[in-house]
Amino acid sequence: MQYRTDPASGNRLSALGLGCMRFPGYQLGRPDAKAAQDIISRAVERGINYLDTAYLYPGNEACVGMALEKLGLRDKVFIATKLPHASCKRTEDFDRFFNEQLKRLRTDHIDYYLMHNITSPAQWEHVAALGIKDWIARQKREGRIRQIGFSYHGSADDFPRMLDAYDWDFVQVQYNYANEHYQAGTAGVMEAHARGLAVFVMEPLLGGRLVDKLPRAAQEILKKARAGHLQTPADWGLSWVWNHPQVTMLLSGMASTEQVDQNASIADAALPKAMTPSQLETIARVVEVFERFNRVPCTGCNYCMPCPQGINIPGCFAAYNASFAYGRWTGLSQYFTASAVRTASPKLVSNCIHCGKCARHCPQQIDIPARLEDVRHRLQPGPVDAALRVLARFRRDGAAE
């Protein structure tokens, strides 16, 4: 395993961190405890020493804590988790959430603690007004929090303001070859590094969209350029991030022991500044193709779920993007699956009531109701909509009989 040094603490961190949100079962809010234990065990065997979870990942903190206790690995890893700051209305809420997190994770301290999903400096100003700066100082004095940072999903312009807002130890930003100019972007990574902060990267493969969901033309470009450890789209995507010496660690949401092995192997070979000019040019060509088909920048994180109307929002967006990358029929097929058209109660995008609940929780700041309208126009136009409704009525009548 390749290791990089956290410039703020001096901690020696594995270049590959385990993002725990996507354990099997996460989409149902019930992580598979046995699978999670196997993944964590294999990760530590492969040299990974950083685990990332959050209060808002349903069942995840408790799952991680139980696995580490059963495996006896707490002292071999750094644990990162996050404060649900939007739910903090009083000063007492900081202790209420934090103590619950310690209990779930079965530990007496958190190595890396984050303000979760900051999209605007106003969110930090809200908890600062409640006294969080004094609270953090007290937790650090008592050794219950070792490093403090924030995960960021806001604009490029606001990122320096967040860096100025507090004496942070680290930042966590979305970064990949398709997002150099999105959110914090390359400029933000460089700025945070220049200030002496550890830089942790999330979404290095854009929720898998830079792997199996790449347009065929982009996959062909990477296939023709294969060399050394750069064999698969995942190899290329992860290596591009690790090519930046300013990146301290990359988080990957590995959902199986096989994925752990694959990514750990890449981490051995993908060293800083190792990619050649020709390889970087290959990535640039892939980006050109990808941007032509990337109509909705959804990463499938499921923060927008559950939808009150039962719509599979990430699945519908994936189908919509696929309809441009692979053809309309492929998109329609995926949409029919995502919207459960074979049931008596299909969850069609036309069921959207524009309540806005989904958009308020989207880290990518997508206007989800508006984009679902785009999905409806492309994958559920008039004749298709009429046919689906007739089919649904037929199935309901048949079920009633």
pLDDT tens, position by position, 309-345: 888 887 888 778 777 766 777 777 777 777 776 666 7
Compute the distance between CA of residue 81 and CA of residue 61 in angstroms, rounded to an integer: 8
Q: Estimate the crossing angle of helix 368-379 against helix 328-338, to 10 degrees.
A: 120
**The pLDDT value given to residue 388:** 63
* pLDDT score of 26 more than 70: no
Residue carrying the six token digits 């809200």: 126
**The pLDDT value given to residue 375:** 82
DSSP code of residue 170:
E
E strands in 20-169: 50-52, 78-83, 110-118, 145-152
Count CB neighbours of 128 within 10 A.
14
pTM above 0.85, yes or no: no
Residues 296/298/303/307 CA torsion (nearest 10 deg): 50
**The pLDDT value given to residue 307:** 86
* CA distances from residue 176 to 203, 236, 239, 253, 393 in whole angstroms, order as listed: 7, 10, 10, 14, 45
Task: Supply 128's token pair.
Answer: 């600062």
More confident residue, 32 or 295: 32
Task: Establish whether the linkage from the previous residue to 272 is cis, with ω within 30° of 0.
Answer: no
Q: Is 274 exposed, middle or buried (0-12, 13-18, 19+ CB in 10 A)?
A: middle
More confident residue, 120 or 331: 120
Compute the distance between CA of residue 145 and CA of residue 147 in angstroms, rounded to an integer: 6
21 pLDDT tier (thresholds 50, 70, 90): confident
Write down all domains in the chain, each with its CATH number in brackets: 3-291 (3.20.20.100), 313-400 (no CATH)
**The pLDDT value given to residue 400:** 46
Compute the distance between CA of residue 101 and CA of residue 367 in angstroms, rounded to an integer: 32
Task: Supply 4's token pair.
Answer: 């990089």
Residue carrying the six token digits 């500044």: 273
Largest CA distance in the chain: 69
Please say whether the beta carbons of 348 and 388 come within 8 A. yes
Separation of first and last alpha carbons in the chain? 61
**The pLDDT value given to residue 101:** 96
